[in-house]
A = this chain, B = another copy of it.
Amino acid sequence: MMTGFEPHDHVGCIADAMSAAEQRCASRSLRLTAVRRQVLEILLQEHVALGAYDILEHLRLAGFNSQPPVAYRALDFLVTNGFAHKVERLNAFIACSYPGETHSPAFMICRNCDVVAETRSTPVKGSLGAAARSVGFRIERTVVEAEGLCPLCQEEAI
């Protein structure tokens, strides 16, 4: 199991993330309900980008007999409150690797094995930000995603 392209202590990472989420919800009086908690756990468990219907399957395995809107609403809650992101390129969702820190996420997506690694980006500082300023566009949110080959798949490709 990996975060990004590096192995790590996954069980601990889930536990940490869940308790951090609980605290953050408590302090902001957000309701981390059963479905939302379960979806976040699923995302943390899998640690890859999951489609809404993947989530639904996992929810059913966990005893929830849920229809599509349930997954989309839970995902919307998690995304809105910074616990997860949507990877637009994949129409899929992934747990945030930097929860609690306000940031513009950027993703590296391996086209071969579908692993997704998150990093923080500063798109407003670069050429995009300059272009936006020059035409008077006010940036509210950015999607930055790189598609390519992860280190492991580069080796295989040789």
Q: Which residues of A contact B (CB under 8 A)?
A: 4-6, 88-89, 91, 106, 108, 110-111, 117, 119-123, 125-128, 131-132, 135-151, 154
Contact = CB atoms under 8 A, between A and B. Distances in A.
Contact of A128 (B131, B141, B146): B146
B138 A142 contact: no
Residue of A120, A125, A140 contacting most chain B CB atoms (<10 Å) = A140
A129 B122 CA distance: 11
Contacts of A6: 135
Given A144-B144, A145-B88, A147-B141, A4 B126 contact: no
A111 to B, nearest CB: 7
